Every structure is written in structure tokens, then in C-alpha cells.
């Protein structure tokens, strides 16, 4: 989809080129958020970053955060930021699979690594360099800017006892897990976070995955779906991103870029710690409100894992960018397994 810049001529047109002052020492960056501020953890992260950057820069570096849809529809953020019509977005790479499926490799991977292993690959195993190369080809810079600890497997209004029970469902699911479920009969639907509740309530979709128990609680999915399944096989760990227009990013001073990276590193620490701390109370509250907590039977997980092997092999064979990321990731995981197997109590 080509973004229509004409809709933004005026206040936001070419914002990326005017964000930095003539002295190069002050900048205001408009950020289109993908997650409503009312959503736990990720919804609150951009405002926390804005406050941190304001204090750290003495007011010289400002993030102006806008609610989803205020600047641009969530799923159009990629094109809006790439074109320069919007400075930046607080989003996730899973939204951009329609541009290149390889973007998912830097956001979440089915049956993938823990958060610490994922961060290790990204920061010290070559993942970040490959991500930079991929985004730069679209005029973008992606800064890792938050993590999501294991997600739920999804909300359903019927029990899932075998893989056949997925057949015929219209399900909101982002990322490569959508391709896995498509192979067992699901019709995947990509929706912006703020649209999912209405989609379930109106029957536009039959089921959804979204995030962690705390985020799902804040979204109110327990009001429109009965069964809450675990584990989140499709997303054991995931990254949020600050997606910045590359021309704007390169026009910032070294100090400004460093402050943004430090604020994003702080966001990673906070989202990891808070994300782990609040899930148990959220699960208890969801149960009190009537949600039935379920675990996918082993036969379901085994079937989905087998489908993922086929999907990942097909993607590596058909997409050069995915193949490069997959080779790097698989090599790192194989090496890391020596430490994973002996270093952690299981």
C-alpha cells in the first residue's frame, strides 16, 4: 500500500525535515502510537520515554506522543514515517509483514527464544545489523524500545482440543503465527490493537491473540470471549520499536540519538520487569471476572510446531531477507544451546 501524503500536507507535512532546530540542538519528534495509553505496559511506554527524554535533555529533546489514529491509522504508520509525513511511530515489526515477512524476525518468532536469548541475538549475534539493513532500504530506522514477555495463546469462544478445532475460525493474529494457523484452517485477520474488542464483540472475528494477561485485561477481552488459552507458542518474546524516519534520524546530533537509544534501553528494562511483575495478579483478576484459563493440549502444540517447521522452511526458500535473518538466528541458537542447556534449571 502506498501512503497518501496529501492527507498530511499542513501541520504534519515534512515534519521529519523540520524537527531539528537550526542549531541542531533541539528537536521535537511527533510519535504515532500503535497502543492506546490505557493498555498496560506498552501503552504507557511512550509517555514514560517522553518524560525521561525531557528531563535528560533539559527540555531540548521532546517526544510528542499521539494516540492511535490521531496522526495516521495504525497499520499505515510504516508508510507515513517512511515518507516523512509523520516523524516516528511506537509500533512493532509484526505489523509490517505485508511489506516483507522478514520484519517479523526482529519482532517475534513462533516457538522462539526467551527474551534474554532473543536480546542476545539481536544485540550481540548480528540481528541488529540485519534489522538496520532491512529498514534502511525503506527509509526507516528501527530502535528496539520495549519487550513483551510470553503472550497468551489467544481468546476463543470454543474449546481447542485438537488442531482441527481451529478450522474455520476468523482470528486476529499478527506475525508469522498467522501463517501457521492458516495451515490448520484459520482465516487470519490483522487488526490494530484498538480495534480488536469491537471486532470480537460484533462477530467480525471469532478469536484473537493480542498480548500478555495484563494487556488483555486492560483491553477487556474477557467481556467478549470465554476461553483464555496458553502458552503463547506464537510469541514467547517480542520487541516493540521506535520506528523513525531515517532522514530525521540521521539529522539528529550524536547526543540526541544516544539519548533516544538510552531511553529505549530503559524502556526494555522497565517493560521486562513490569511485564513479569503484573501478569499473575492480572490472571487472577481475569479468572475472578469469569475467564476460563486453559492450556493447549500437547497434541495441539505438537501439530502447530510441525506446521511451523514447514512455514519457516518455505519462507527461507522464498525470501532472501528472511533467509539471511533465519540463518543468523538459527546459527546463534545452536551455539547458544550449549549455555541454555547447562546454565538454567529446567
The third-level CATH classification (topology) of the domain covering 11-148+236-277 is D-Maltodextrin-Binding Protein; domain 2 (3.40.190)
Instruction: Report the alpha-carbon distance of residue 62 to residue 29 in Å, rounded.
Output: 6
pTM of the model: 0.89
Helix, strand, or coil (residue 172): strand
CB 129 within 8 A of CB 141: no
| Residues found in the chain | 346
Own/partner long-range contacts of 1-8 (Cβ < 8 Å, ≥24 apart): 1/76, 1/79, 1/98, 2/79, 3/72, 3/76, 3/78, 3/79, 3/80, 3/82, 3/83, 3/85, 5/83, 5/84, 5/85, 7/85, 8/71, 8/72, 8/80, 8/85, 8/86
**What pLDDT sits at residue 134?**
98
Strand pairing report for 88-91 and 27-33 = parallel
The domain segmentation of the chain, as residue ranges, is: 11-148+236-277, 154-234+291-335
**What pLDDT sits at residue 139?**
98
CATH number of 154-234+291-335: 3.40.190.10
CA-closest candidate to residue 336, choices 177, 71, 113:
113
Confidence of residue 346 (pLDDT cuts 50, 70, 90): confident
CB 60 within 8 A of CB 260: no
CB 78 within 8 A of CB 95: yes
pLDDT tens, position by position, 151-186: 999 999 999 999 999 999 999 998 899 999 999 999
Instruction: Report the alpha-carbon distance of residue 19 to residue 250 in Å, rounded.
Output: 12
CA-closest candidate to residue 240, choices 63, 65, 108, 75:
108
Above 60 in pLDDT, residue 11?
A: no
Q: What radius of gyration do the chain's Cα atoms show?
A: 20
Burial of 11 per CB tally in 10 Å (0-12, 13-18, 19+): exposed
The mean of the pLDDT values for the chain is 92
- What percent of the chain stands above pLDDT 90? 90
DSSP one-letter string for 222-263: GGT--EEEE--TT-SSEEEEEEEEHHHHHHS-HHHHHHHHHH
pLDDT tens, position by position, 66-120: 999 999 999 999 999 999 999 999 999 999 999 999 999 999 999 999 999 999 9
Strand pairing report for 140-148 and 238-245 = antiparallel
pLDDT tens, position by position, 188-245: 998 999 999 999 999 999 999 999 999 999 999 999 999 999 999 999 999 999 999 9
Name the grid cell of 185. 484452517
Q: Which residue has the higher pLDDT, 344 or 140?
A: 140
Amino acid at each position: 500500500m502506498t501512503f497518501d501524503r496529501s492527507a498530511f500536507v499542513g501541520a504534519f507535512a515534512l515534519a521529519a525535515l523540520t524537527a531539528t532546530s537550526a542549531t541542531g540542538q533541539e528537536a521535537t519528534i511527533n510519535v504515532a502510537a500503535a497502543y492506546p495509553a490505557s493498555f498496560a505496559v506498552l501503552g504507557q511506554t511512550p509517555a514514560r520515554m517522553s518524560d525521561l527524554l525531557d528531563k535528560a535533555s533539559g527540555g531540548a529533546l521532546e517526544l510528542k506522543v499521539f494516540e492511535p489514529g490521531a496522526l495516521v491509522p495504525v497499520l499505515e504508520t510504516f508508510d507515513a514515517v517512511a515518507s516523512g509525513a509523520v516523524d516516528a511511530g511506537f509500533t512493532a515489526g509484526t505489523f509490517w509483514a505485508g511489506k516483507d515477512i522478514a520484519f517479523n524476525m526482529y519482532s517475534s518468532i513462533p516457538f522462539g527464544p526467551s527474551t534474554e536469548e532473543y536480546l542476545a541475538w539481536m544485540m550481540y549475534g548480528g540481528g541488529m545489523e540485519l534489522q538496520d539493513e532491512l529498514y534502511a532500504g525503506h527509509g526507516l530506522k528501527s530502535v528496539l524500545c520495549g519487550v513483551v514477555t510470553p503472550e497468551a495463546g489467544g481468546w476463543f469462544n470454543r474449546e481447542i482440543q485438537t488442531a482441527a478445532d481451529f478450522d474455520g475460525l476468523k482470528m486476529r493474529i499478527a506475525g508469522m503465527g498467522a501463517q501457521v494457523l492458516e495451515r490448520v484452517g484459520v482465516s487470519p485477520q490483522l487488526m490494530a490493537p484498538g480495534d480488536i474488542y469491537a471486532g470480537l464483540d460484533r462477530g467480525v472475528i471469532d478469536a484473537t491473540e493480542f498480548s500478555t494477561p495484563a494487556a488483555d485485561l486492560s483491553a477487556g477481552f474477557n467481556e467478549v470471549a470465554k476461553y483464555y488459552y496458553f502458552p503463547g507458542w506464537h510469541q514467547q518474546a517480542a520487541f516493540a520499536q521506535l520506528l523513525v524516519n531515517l532522514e530525521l534520524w540521521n539529522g539528529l546530533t550524536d547526543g540526541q540519538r544516544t539519548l533516544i537509544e538510552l531511553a529505549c534501553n530503559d524502556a526494555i528494562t522497565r517493560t521486562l520487569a513490569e511485564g513479569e511483575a503484573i501478569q499473575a495478579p492480572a490472571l487472577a483478576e481475569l479468572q475472578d471476572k469469569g475467564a476460563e484459563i486453559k492450556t493447549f493440549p500437547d497434541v495441539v502444540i505438537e501439530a502447530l510446531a510441525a506446521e511451523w517447521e514447514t512455514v519457516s522452511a518455505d519462507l527461507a526458500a522464498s525470501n532472501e531477507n528472511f533467509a539471511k535473518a533465519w540463518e543468523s538466528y538459527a546459527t546463534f541458537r545452536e551455539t547458544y544451546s550449549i549455555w541454555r542447556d547447562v546454565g538454567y534449571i529446567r
